[in-house]
Amino acid sequence: MPPFQALLDEYATDVMGVLRGAVGRTDADDCFQETFLAALRAYPKLDNSENLRGWLLTIAHRKAIDHHRTNGRKPLPMADPPEVAVSDPEFREDGIWAVVAELPPKQRAAVALRYGSDLPHAEIAAALGCSPEAARRSLHEGIKRLRKELA
Amino acid sequence: MKASLQRLAERAEAEGLLDVAYANVDSPFGPLLLAATPRGLVRVNLPNYDPAETLEELAAKVSPRVLEAPAKFERARRELDLYFEGRLTEFDLPIDWQLTHGFRGKVQRAIKRIPYGQTRTYTEMARSAGNERAVRAAGTACGHNPIPIFVPCHRVLRSGGGLGGYGGGLPMKEELLKLEGVL
C-alpha cells in the first residue's frame, strides 16, 4: 500500500474539484475533510489498491450526498460569496462549472463525476448509490438542462 | 488547498489516524526527512537516500497512514538548527525504537547514550550491548541506525582511529565530528 500522502499528492486536487462541483465552493472543504478522514480510517484494511482514484471519488460522492441529505431541501445559494483573499486559479467556478453548480444535486454529481472525474457509468452509479440506469438518467437530464441553460 | 491539507493533518491527528507524520527539514548537508509516530521520532532520512523509498518503507513497516505534517516538527527543526550551529549538545525529543530489534536495538540504544563531543569504537559498542565479540554485528547496527544524527552513530569510530563508515557519506561524518570538536 503506498503511503497515504501519495494519494493526497495525486488526487487531492481532483477530489476537491469534484466536491466543488457537487456541493459548491463554500461547503467543499468540509466534505473534503470528511472524505479523506473516512479514507484514512479505511485505508489500512483496503484489499485492492488498483483504483485508488475511483475509490476516493466514490467516498467523495457519498459525502456530497450525505451533505445534501443533511441540508435537506434547503435551497442552494445562487452564487457563492467571493473569496477575495484567496486566489486559486485551478478552481475558478466561472463558465460551464458555474452552470453545473446550479443543477439539482444528483444531476450535478453525475455530470461532475462523468466530465470532471472521467468516471464510467458503473462507477458513477456506485458513487451515487443508485442503479447504472438511474445514473445514466441523471447524467442525461443534467446534460439536457445544461444545453438549455447555455443555449 | 494548502490550508485544507494542513487542517486534514490536524484532524487526522486528533482522531488518532496519523500513525506516521513526516516533514522535510533543511540541514547544511541537504534536506533531511524526519518521521514520527505518536510515541516519538522513528526515522531520519539522510540527504543521500531517496525520501520516497523511506516513506514506502514506513508505510510497509509501521503503517500506511503516512501524512506530511510540518507543524508537528517545529521543535525538531529548532533543535536541529541549534545543533548545526554548535549551540545544542543534547537532543531532547522522544524516540520511537520500533524499527530496531534485538542486538542491533541494544547497540543503537547504547549509541544514543554517547555524549556530545565524545567517540566510541565499534568494539566498545559491542561491549555496551552485552557481547564484546560481536564487533562486526555492532558495526552493522551502526550502519542500520534508523534515526541518524539524533542517535549519533557518527560518534562511533574504528578501533585503530579510522573513521569507519557512515550512511550519509564520510564527509558528513567528518563534518559532524568537527562540529562537535572531536576532529
Query: Does residue B117 fall inside a structural domain?
Result: yes
Contacts of B8 in chain A (CB under 8 A): 8, 32-33, 36-37
Cα separation of A124 and B94, whole Å? 47
Q: B33: part of which helix (H) or strand (E)?
A: strand B32-37
C-alpha cell at B99: 524499527
B57 band by pLDDT with thresholds 50, 70 and 90: very high
Instruction: Choose, from B46, B125, B149, B153, the residue flagged as catalytic.
Output: B153
Query: Does residue B168 fall inside a structural domain?
Result: yes
Same domain for B79 and B141, yes or no, is: no
Portion of chain B with pLDDT greater than 90, in percent:
97
Domain boundary among B52, B84, B116: B84
Q: What tens digit of pLDDT does each residue of A42-60 get?
A: 999 998 888 899 999 999 9
**Residues of chain A predicted below pLDDT 70:** 72-95
The CATH topology of domain A4-150 is Butyryl-CoA Dehydrogenase, subunit A; domain 3 (1.20.140)
Same domain for B14 and B80, yes or no, is: yes
Q: Count of domains in chain B?
A: 2
What mean pLDDT is predicted for residues B156-175? Answer: 93
Q: Are B20 and B42 in contact (CB under 8 A)?
A: yes
Query: Does residue B90 fall inside a structural domain?
Result: no
Q: What is the pLDDT of residue A94?
A: 58
Same domain for B172 and B108, yes or no, is: yes
Q: B66: part of which helix (H) or strand (E)?
A: strand B66-68
Q: Are A117 and A92 in contact (CB under 8 A)?
A: no
> CA torsion, points A8, A9, A12, A17, in degrees to nearest 10?
-170
Q: How far is CA A114 from CA A34, A106, A133, B64, in A?
A: 22, 12, 14, 30
Same domain for B149 and B80, yes or no, is: no
B8 with A32: Cβ contact below 8 A:
yes
Q: What tens digit of pLDDT does each residue of B168-183 get?
A: 999 999 999 999 999 8
Domain boundary among B21, B54, B84: B84
Domain boundary among B34, B56, B84: B84
Instruction: Classify the C-alpha dihedral B43-B47-B49-B51 as positive or negative.
Output: positive
pTM of the model as a whole: 0.79
**Closest approach of chain B CAs to the CA of A3, in angstroms?**
5
Question: Is B153 annotated in the active site?
Answer: yes
Q: Are B150 and B41 in contact (CB under 8 A)?
A: yes
Could you tell me the residue range of the domain that residue B154 belongs to?
102-179
Cα separation of B143 and B146, whole Å? 9
Among A38, A33, A8, A17, smallest CA distance to A93 is for: A17
Q: Are A56 and A15 in contact (CB under 8 A)?
A: yes
Q: What tens digit of pLDDT does each residue of B91-121 get?
A: 999 999 999 999 999 999 999 999 999 999 9
> CA torsion, points B25, B98, B127, B154, in degrees to nearest 10?
-10
